[in-house]
Every structure is written in C-alpha cells, then in structure tokens.
Structure 1
Amino acid sequence: MDTTASTTPLVQLSHVTKSFGPVQVLKDVSLEMYRGEVLCLAGENGAGKSTLIKILTGAIPRDSGEYRIDGQDVGSPSPAQARELGVGVVYQELSLLPEVSVEENLLMGRLPGRGGVVNKRDLRARAIKMLERVGLNRVDPGTLVSGLPVATRQMVEIAKVLGADARIVIFDEPTTSLSEEDARSLLQLINRLKKEENVAVLYVTHRLEEIFEIGDRITVLRDGQFITTAPTDQFTHDTLIRSMVGRQIEALYPKREHKQFGKTLLSVQGLRLPGSPYPINLEVHAGEIVGLGGLVGAGRTETVRAIFGADPLVAGKILVDGKPLRPGSPAQAVKAGLGLLTEDRKEMGILKDLSIRENVTLADLSAVSRLEVILRRREVSLVTSLVPRLRLKYHSTEQPISSLSGGNQQKVLLSRWLATKAKVLLLDEPTKGVDVGAKADIYTIIGDLAAQGLGIIVVSSYLPELLGICDRVIVLHDFGVTGELPIEEATEEAVLQLASSAPVPANA
C-alpha cells in the first residue's frame, strides 16, 4: 500500500452473497478498499468479478452481507445513490455519447444553467478544469467525442467520473482496446490519482503484468468465492495464476521445441491498403507463427482483413500454397485455405442465437450437406471430432454459443476454421477479453496447430503475447512495414521503436 494510504477502510464488503435463480454467483465474499491504494481484483471469467462491481455501483442488490462506505452501512444503493456516495466506474465499453461534445458528456445530467438554458461559458470553464485534471490540456471541449481516439475517450471518461466527486473509482478492463503505449499512460494516470488525490481504486484486468505494475494488494475470486487477499509483492505470476484457476499452469506461453518450418503457405507481395503509399510484403511458412505488431491504427487489422478479402486493397498479389488468390473475395479465401478470427467476436465472429454446432459448421456447409440439405448427424460428428483438439468446455453441441465463456467462444471460432481444413489462420486479437486459464489453452492450441503444419499470423496489441508465442514479429506503422524481428531479437523496446518508425516507401 502507498505510504499515503489510510489505515481505515473506505469501502467494506463483508460476507456478501448473490444468486440468480438457483445459481449462486457470489458466496461469502469480503473485500476492503483504502484511500490512496490500488486494489486489483483477479479471477477467471465467471469468478464473480462483474457481479461484485455491480453490487458496488448499485446496479444490482446483494442477497446478504454488509456494504459500508466510511464506516456507514449504505444498504443496497441505487446507481444514483452510489454515485452520490462517491462510487464511479470506468467500463471497458465506454458510456460516452459519440455524437455529443466532450463538455456536454462530461457534465451530462449536471449541465450548468437555469430554466433549461445552459450557461455555455460556465460549461466550458468546468469542462476545461475536468480535462486538465487528467492531463487533457489540448483537447477542445467542444469537439464531438466521435472524433477522438479511443485512448482519449478513455481519459474523458475518467475525467467525467472524477468530476462527479468520485472517491472510489473502479476500472473494469480499461486497457483492452488500448495500445501498449496508451495503456502505460493510463496506468501512470491511475498511480497519480491514488497519490495526489488519495482516491481508492479497484482495478480489474486479465493482464497479469498490469496487476503487478499497478496493484498495492490483490484480492482473488474463484467460482464466486473469496480465495485470498495479500500485498502484491507476496505473489508471483505462478502463485497468482494458481490462486485464480485452482490448478498449476506450467507455463502461460508454452515452449515450442524442435521448430521446423516447411514450405511457404502464404505469400503477400506489394500489398497496398487504401490511402497508403507503402507496400506490405510478408511470408508465412508451414509450422510458423508470425506476429503483427504496431500501435493502434497501424493497419494490422486492415492487413489481415485485406488478405482474407474482407477489406479492399489497392494493389498487391496474394499466393496461398503457391496459387494466386483473387482479392476481395472471402469465399475464395476460404476455398483457398484461409481462415480469419476477427478482432470483435461478438459483432463479427459468433452468431449468438445459434448453437455451437451451427457456429462451427457455418463457414463450409457443403461439408455437412447432401443435395443442399444439411445433415444434422454429420454436423454433430464433425463438431465432436474437433472438440478434443481445442479443449472446449461445453454440455451439448446444441447449447447456444452465447452461453459459453469468452475463451470457449474463441475455441468454437477456431473450430470453424479447422472444419474447413484451413492451411493458414489469421488470428486478430485471439485472446481479447479472455481470462488467464483460457489464454493458456489458446496459446497451447495455437502452438499445436503450428506443429501440425498450419501457418499462423497473430495480431495482438499485447506485446508479451506476441513475444511469448511467435517465431517472428513484423511491425507496422501507418499501414506499412517498418521492420521484422526474429523472436530471439524481439524485445518490447525493439518492437515499440519500430512501431514509431516510418515505413519503407514503395520506390525505396
């Protein structure tokens, strides 16, 4: 705990339970938060973290137990009452209205003025002070939120929470959509808030490195139960993971011994994306995992989507297993042996109203059809044959995919491409929003697929992930390649340096 932190708890949850119908999601959970301290809440998906946050913020009532702020029993507050008590939350999905100005977002519900007429001068003055508090001195308060980068929107959200006199600030997966550089800036801001403003911070993330960088103490939940609380320096990565998952994970990033690469499965020559003068050249061999690194907006997602035919390209040639691929046609890409795992599985990956079976077979219905009639038995046989390879946890192939955890949804999407007998997988942020236990499974699966002869491209904003599972890292900036690093030479510093460099132009 920081030396300026109070020795008296600002927040106390004692013996809290919560059930939804017959399912008990929190069982006798307790935690304490102190002024001037960052408490990290760790646990896998389904551990009860989100439910606990909802109780703290008044979104749902607890069934039993006590909730005290500054020693006073606050009962089961409504969201408005929780905000008045000083509880603020910054969610992964931001609550700002995109087509409204920054200043109006900051003071929404508290706009200065009389008789329904807003005092614009007062509004501007208050907004400037709120922005300065989080270091956004150069942001025009009159700008529409939709015109701001994601990282800046995150800071505006924090300014809004602090401007409502929050003394207890909850951060729920705040760096998921941020670049490595922007994530570091956010962590620095949180450290400044706890030291200079003496707020109590509850920080939730799946990124263990962030927990060890920013946390003063760690509280671990597993299956809705309190497991332990201790100062951060009393944990190692291994002991924290063991507390979270209840089992020993030998290595988060499994070693890939005897790596032998085969023929070139994917060759991209002179690919240019709209608006960019820079060519992208890359190759992926059988058995190889190639990482695409770079800052947010560097063109990583656009590159893999253009290779797959989902986004346009201006120029370039793509060869899959030595054969030319017609650009702009996902159907032809699938037929050639490409598979794309999209960055946003909820919007562009899963079909949430369909079953596991239907989601797996969707990409190639011809494999489970006869005379254009889908054969249920053939579908089930295909899906069950893929399950052992992907460590999928499920009850029935007929259960909705929406009932699965994020990690298991990703495994279903990987199954979809294995069902098509894909030769090259394009994985865009494959562990985004996935807990540590499922991450370890996915890393092992990716390594196993490479060992079976697939070629794999991994796009990730999380540098430890790229460095932990890839054989090479190609770095992009401004929709062009700035360099390539063999994994033996790839460090976070080296990748970030290339990520800030200028690409090589086409005529160089």
Structure 2
Amino acid sequence: MQTLLEMRNITKTFPGVKALDDVNLKVTEGEIHALVGENGAGKSTLMKVLSGVYPKGTYDGEIHYDGQLAGFAGISDSEKLGIIIIHQELALVPLLSIAENLFIGNECAKAGVVNWHETFRRTEGLLKKVGLNEPPAAQVDSLGVGKQQLVEIAKALSKDVRLLILDEPTAALSESDSQALLDLLLELKAQGVTSIVISHKLNEVRRIADTITVIRDGATVSTLDARKEPITEDRIVRDMVGRDMSQRYPERPRRAGDMLLEVRDWNVWHPEHAARQVIRDINFHVRAGEVVGIAGLMGAGRTELAMSLFGKSYGRNISGSVELRGKAIDTSTVAAAIRSGLAYVTEDRKELGLILEESIQRNVTLANLIDVSKSGVINEAEETKVAERYRAAMNIRTPSVFQKVVNLSGGNQQKVVLSKWLFAGPEVLILDEPTRGIDVGAKFEIYGIINELSAEGKGVLMISSEMPELLGMCDRIYVMNQGSFVGELSAVEASQERIMSLIVTE
C-alpha cells in the first residue's frame, strides 16, 4: 500500500508547554487511520500542524504528502492538495442555506456572479453522496447536529478531498446518527477517500479503523494494525494512559442513606409551543449517598427535566413539588435552586458551564462569589486560594489557576465545572453527560470524584447516553421515554437489554 502522508519528528511548543515531542505518523492511501489519546495528549495539535492552522515555521519536523515534502502557510494551502479538516466545533454559518455553506469561499461563480442553478445542482449531488435528504435551500440552523455533521462532510467532498480529518465527529451525536456517520466513512473509504479520525469512543474506533496510532503526553506511543489482528479496547487504553485499567469504574460501597431529594408530579410544557407537554407526571427520589441514573434515547426529555428542576431554566407552566430532607424548597430561579442545595453540571460545558475567556480562578468561584467577597468586593487573594485548593483536589492539569479555561483540554474543563459547583456546597448534584467528549483516563478521575461525593452523603442524579457508564456507576436507574419515566431498575436488575426493552415497549 502506498504511503499518502508521513509526519516525521513533529515538535510543537507553546509558551511553557511542549505540546508535541518528536511525533511520527504514517497514513497509507485508502485507509481509515484512528488517532487516539487522552485529552491534552496532542492529537488536535498534530492535525492543526498538518492542515496549516499552525503554519510551517511554527513547528519542527517534516511533513511528506503524496511523496513530496510539504509545508503549509495556512488552511487554503493544504485544501488545494485535498487535505480537509472538520473540527469538533462545526464551522458552518447557521443562518445560511446548505448550498451557501457548501460553497462559501469556493463559489460556483463567473465574473463575480454566483451561478445558483449550478450551485444547487452540485449541492443535490453532494447531499446524495452523504445520504442527506434535505433541500439545498434549507437553512443550516434548522438541522440537527447529526445532519450538520453530514453537511460538513459534503462540504469537504465539494473540495475534492483526498485526506479527510475528523476531530471527534460523533461526540455530540445520538447513537443512530453516530452509526450512520461511521457507515458513511466506510463508504467514502470504498470510494478511495483516506480518513484520519480522532475519537475517544473506542468501540467506534475498533469498528472502522484499519490502523490506530496512540499519542500520550505529546509523543507517539504505538501504532496498531487492526487488519493483522483484533485490537482490544484494553490494549488501546493501556497505551493511552500508561497503565492497566481493567476496572473502568472504581469500586465503592453502595450504602443508601436517608431520603434526600423527592420530586413529585413534575410537569413541564415547551417554552415556545404552549400545547406541547415535554415532561409528564415525573416522580422520583434520591437518597443520601446514592448515585441515581436517568437512561433514555436522545430527545427523551432528560436534559429538559434537569433544567426545569434547576431554577426552571427550561420550560413554562411548570408544576410539581421538590423536597430536600422532607422540606419543600424553592427552585423558582437558578439563584434560589443554588441556595436550596441543588447544582447542575450542564451537558454543554463550553456554552453553558464555563466562561471560556476567563481564568480557572474566576470560573471556580462563579457560583458562590459571596464566600470570596466582602461588602460586594471580591477578595482576589481568597479567590486564588480557593482555586488552588480545587486545582489540587481535582487534579486540574494546568501551569496556573490564572490560565484561561479555553486553553484547557476537555477533561480539565469538566473538572473546572465540577469545582465550580462543589464550591457552592450543594446537597444534590445533577450531572448531565458528565464525561461527554473526554478520554478514559479523565473519565476514571471523574468517576472517582462522583464516588467521593457519594461517600460524603451527597446525592447524585446522573444523566448519560452511555449505558455502560450508568450500569457501572449507579445504584438505581430510571428509564425515560417521551417525557415520562417508564421504569426503574436496581443495579442488580439493570442491563442494557432491560433498559432498551423498557424504552421500546412503552
């Protein structure tokens, strides 16, 4: 097989940090090559070097592409050779149509005039290739995330892609959308498109990858050929984290205490469509020291339930009662919910959980400024002391608590979100997809934090789309479908099959 890409001894340094240290990567033509590693290992940095986001001269080492020494001054240079990168944060313009997005900067035009007939004709052909049955004039913000991901791939195909790079392509997708995207990558492979896929979902990596390169702490650890022998997840994990992780979920004694949180007859209507009920007659409880899961398919209403409980952040005409330790509490606003002892770790940490351009220090104290201030003035020395305490306790990997959160890896960002809410001193933590988009090592650390909270007598309500995570961490699991709870299973009773059967039979 012919080598399409070879990156030799790539070293990239940022102020105070060596992000890549003599990394080597070889990709053969027509394969799907997976790039895996913990958050902050250097995967995305390596791909930014390749695509020209970090231009030639800002790194050491060589890039050989299609047998030629290459170095790109910017993304346009790499795209001319058919190297297209799709970042985790999609680069689409929401208020433009699919057709406009596909050809933005690459218009079907003559003498400055766009040929819309040709644009729409080509768009229809590209959408057919990626299996997307949407009109070219459809506005992008009317599409779900899964369909937007397909638009990004169609956009890449419009540029005669030879090497397609996808950074966490299924991180925000439902199970069915993820499977459809993986099937599409296999189809593109059959058509001769070479792909590099960065992913934390090792089951997906094992399904589609011909070759797997593992990066740890900015260095290449191993390259595994899945065509020669089956590669187990345990083998990949061992190379990723540098240690054996046969126990993915840390052990903890399961001892439920007194009744902590009770929610009765909870009903929520859609904030914009007054006739549509989103949450219907929900009843549940969480005991002290319990980790209680909520399972369900995308769109079941899990996040809507969590947000409506936390200060009525979602919905209208909300009714029902919430009690903490047998007493009714006020959850009418976010501030009231926090004072009452609730905390909510949102599934979207970048949009709703953090102020990315602010420091770790400022983010950690956001939900409890009163404890680091006097007469309305923040005591910065005290704020720093608090941030340093959580930096140590949560093992947040950063040179300084004054570092901007935007510069942290996904796992470390999630630890900052958790720190923020722990500093607020809650009795009950609602965790919405607490390990989404982070690697197995960081997941294990967060599971350990959840177990510590349980040992302290806190209650944890955990929403997750990963059933093995719920089964590995929870004492009980409520199963949700179409805005209602359709079953409750103890840890002993629960299995993926039981959960799915409850969902599909209701």
Task: Tell me the TM-score normalized by structure 1.
Answer: 0.89
Task: State which of 240, 243, 246 in structure 2 corresponds to 1:247.
Answer: 243
Q: Hey, what's the Cα distance between the residues in 1 that align with 2:122 and 2:389?
A: 61
Q: Hey, what's the Cα distance between the residues in 1 that align with 2:159 and 2:389?
A: 54
Q: Hey, what's the Cα distance between the residues in 1 that align with 2:161 and 2:175?
A: 27
- CA deviation map 1:140-166 (0-9, x unaligned): 121111111111111111111122211
Q: Hey, what's the Cα distance between the residues in 1 that align with 2:60 and 2:424?
A: 50
SS at match of 2:10: strand
Q: Hey, what's the Cα distance between the residues in 1 that align with 2:385 and 2:62?
A: 50
2:138 alignment partner in structure 1? 143
Task: State which of 267, 280, 283 in structure 1 corresponds to 2:282.
Answer: 280
C-alpha contact (below 8 Å) 1:342/1:348 kept by paired residues: yes
2:306 alignment partner in structure 1? 304
Structure 1 stretch displaced more, 401-410 or 314-323: 401-410
Q: Hey, what's the Cα distance between the residues in 2 that align with 1:326 and 1:366?
A: 19
Structure 2 counterparts to residues 18-57 of structure 1, below 5 A: 18-21=12-15, 23-57=17-51
C-alpha contact (below 8 Å) 1:270/1:281 kept by paired residues: yes
1:99 alignment partner in structure 2? 95
Q: Hey, what's the Cα distance between the residues in 2 that align with 1:378 and 1:93?
A: 35
Q: Hey, what's the Cα distance between the residues in 1 that align with 2:81 and 2:40?
A: 28
Matched to 1:311, the amino acid is Y
Task: State which of 273, 288, 291 in structure 2 corresponds to 1:289.
Answer: 291
Matched to 1:29, the amino acid is V
Task: Tell me the TM-score normalized by structure 2.
Answer: 0.90
Matched, 1:174 2:169: yes
Matched, 1:214 2:208: yes
Q: Hey, what's the Cα distance between the residues in 1 that align with 2:333 and 2:450?
A: 25
Q: Hey, what's the Cα distance between the residues in 1 that align with 2:347 and 2:15?
A: 33
SS at match of 2:3: coil
- CA deviation map 1:398-438 (0-9, x unaligned): 55444543323322332333223311101112122323221
Task: State which of 148, 154, 159 in structure 1 corresponds to 2:149.
Answer: 154
1:114 alignment partner in structure 2? 110
Q: Hey, what's the Cα distance between the residues in 2 that align with 1:144 and 1:266?
A: 43
Structure 2 counterparts to residues 320-399 of structure 1, below 5 A: 320-370=324-374, 372-375=376-379, 379=383, 382-383=386-387, 389-399=393-403
Matched to 2:394, the amino acid is L
Structure 1 stretch displaced more, 299-308 or 402-411: 402-411
SS at match of 1:409: helix
1:237 alignment partner in structure 2? 233
1:501 positional shift: 5.8
Matched to 1:70, the amino acid is D
Q: Hey, what's the Cα distance between the residues in 2 that align with 1:239 and 1:168?
A: 27
1:505 alignment partner in structure 2? none
2:495 alignment partner in structure 1? 491
- CA deviation map 1:442-485 (0-9, x unaligned): 01111221122111111222333223222223233333323333
C-alpha contact (below 8 Å) 2:329/2:340 kept by paired residues: yes
Q: Hey, what's the Cα distance between the residues in 2 that align with 1:30 and 1:250?
A: 28
Q: Hey, what's the Cα distance between the residues in 1 that align with 2:399 and 2:50?
A: 32
1:11 alignment partner in structure 2? 5
Structure 2 counterparts to residues 463-474 of structure 1, below 5 A: 463-474=467-478
1:372 positional shift: 4.8
Unpaired runs of 5+ residues, structure 1, are 1-6, 503-508
1:4 alignment partner in structure 2? none
Q: Hey, what's the Cα distance between the residues in 1 that align with 2:125 and 2:333?
A: 50
Unpaired runs of 5+ residues, structure 2, are 270-275
C-alpha contact (below 8 Å) 2:391/2:401 kept by paired residues: no
1:373/1:140 CA distance change after superposition, 3 Å = closer
Matched to 1:36, the amino acid is G
Matched, 1:125 2:121: yes
Structure 1 stretch displaced more, 385-394 or 52-61: 385-394
C-alpha contact (below 8 Å) 2:6/2:26 kept by paired residues: yes
1:330/1:66 CA distance change after superposition, 3 Å = same
1:375 positional shift: 4.6
1:500/1:401 CA distance change after superposition, 3 Å = same
Q: Hey, what's the Cα distance between the residues in 1 that align with 2:67 and 2:108?
A: 33
SS at match of 1:228: strand
C-alpha contact (below 8 Å) 2:331/2:340 kept by paired residues: no
Q: Hey, what's the Cα distance between the residues in 2 that align with 1:24 and 1:383?
A: 24
SS at match of 1:273: strand
Matched to 2:193, the amino acid is V
C-alpha contact (below 8 Å) 2:330/2:340 kept by paired residues: no
Matched, 1:454 2:450: no
1:382/1:73 CA distance change after superposition, 3 Å = closer
1:224 alignment partner in structure 2? 218
SS at match of 1:279: strand
1:39 positional shift: 0.9
C-alpha contact (below 8 Å) 1:284/1:456 kept by paired residues: yes
SS at match of 1:363: helix
Q: Hey, what's the Cα distance between the residues in 1 that align with 2:460 and 2:324?
A: 12
The CA RMSD over aligned residues, in Å, is 2.5
Matched to 1:222, the amino acid is R
Structure 2 counterparts to residues 258-277 of structure 1, below 5 A: 258-274=253-269, 275-276=276-277
Matched, 1:200 2:227: no
C-alpha contact (below 8 Å) 2:51/2:72 kept by paired residues: no
- CA deviation map 1:237-295 (0-9, x unaligned): 33322222223445221233x31111221112121221216222221111211222223
Q: Hey, what's the Cα distance between the residues in 2 that align with 1:118 and 1:393?
A: 49
Number of equivalent positions? 493
1:110/1:390 CA distance change after superposition, 3 Å = closer
1:133/1:317 CA distance change after superposition, 3 Å = same
Structure 1 stretch displaced more, 242-251 or 161-170: 242-251
C-alpha contact (below 8 Å) 1:10/1:70 kept by paired residues: yes
Matched to 1:43, the amino acid is G
